[in-house]
Amino acid sequence: MTDSTHRKAIIDALLSLLETGPLERIGLNDIAKAAGISLADLRGEFSSVVAILAAHMKDIDRTVLSADTSDMGDEPARERLFDVLMRRLDAHAGHKVAIRSLIRSTLCNPPLALVMNGLAARSMSWMMTAAGISAAGPKGALRAQALTLMYVRVLSVWANDEDPGLARTMAALDRELARAERWSGFLDTMLAIPERLQAGRWRARRRRDPDSDDGIEAA
């Protein structure tokens, strides 16, 4: 096997094992055996089970990001994000049983939930960027975290949605995006408050001391 073949075999092995048991019972020996490789080859590719999950999520990111989005330019941000996240769910389609298993594990394992949250937030930053929504700075980080929590709720609906048309999933995503849109407006307002307060302090200072050098000098 080449290194790239090893990588795919390892990820596929972990996903297959998740279909038959919880993550906390899957060891590196199990993954190596299922992938048909040695522990040395496994170690050459990944340092831990979490690293394998991170690689799988990165692959999903790349699948979504490689799609042509040129036809979404005139759509509202909410519609662009809806499209991007539905494409992400489509990319998960072959691993629904494994994802159900992973969701159950995160619900009863807070440390795992914390780690998975970090990985998912990183992916959501990329999804926002793909939808033309800024993920930069503290505001972007807060948006990505809010989107992560939203997406996990939708993912739980999707994992149990057996309708080929995914009607329940799309309805859940639409509701969550509406909620996120309201939250984003609230966030914009809250983040603007310190700026307004700071501007108010500078104006008050200038009124008290008109000759202050803190202002911009005339040329």
The pLDDT tens digits for 48-101 are: 999 999 999 999 999 999 998 777 778 888 899 999 999 999 999 999 999 999
Which pLDDT value is given to residue 69?
79
Looking at the predicted structure, is the pLDDT value of residue 110 above 90? yes
> In whole numbers, what is the pLDDT of the chain averaged over residues?
87
Looking at the predicted structure, is the pLDDT value of residue 212 above 60? no
Tokens of 33: 């055996």
Query: Which of helix, strand or coil describes residue 216?
Result: coil
CA gap 149, 142 in Å, rounded: 11
Distance of CA 70 to the CA centre of its chain: 22
Tokens of 51: 């690293």
The DSSP-derived string for 163-215 is: -TT-HHHHHHHHHHHHHHHHHHHHHHHHHHHHHHHHHHHHHHHHHH-TT-TTS
Separate counts of helices (H) and strands (E) for the chain? 9, 0
- For residue 158, what is the enclosing H or E element? helix 137-159
Looking at the predicted structure, is the pLDDT value of residue 6 above 90? yes
Percent of the chain with pLDDT over 70: 82
Which pLDDT value is given to residue 73?
72
75 — phi, psi (to 5°)?
-80, 150
Specify the residue for token string 């993912």: 155
Specify the residue for token string 């803190």: 214
Query: Which of helix, strand or coil describes residue 74?
Result: coil
- Rounded to whole angstroms, what are the CA distances from 189 to 68, 145, 182, 196? 33, 18, 11, 10
Looking at the predicted structure, is the pLDDT value of residue 193 above 60? no
Confidence bin at 217 (pLDDT 50/70/90): very low
Which pLDDT value is given to residue 194?
52
Q: Give the pTM.
A: 0.81
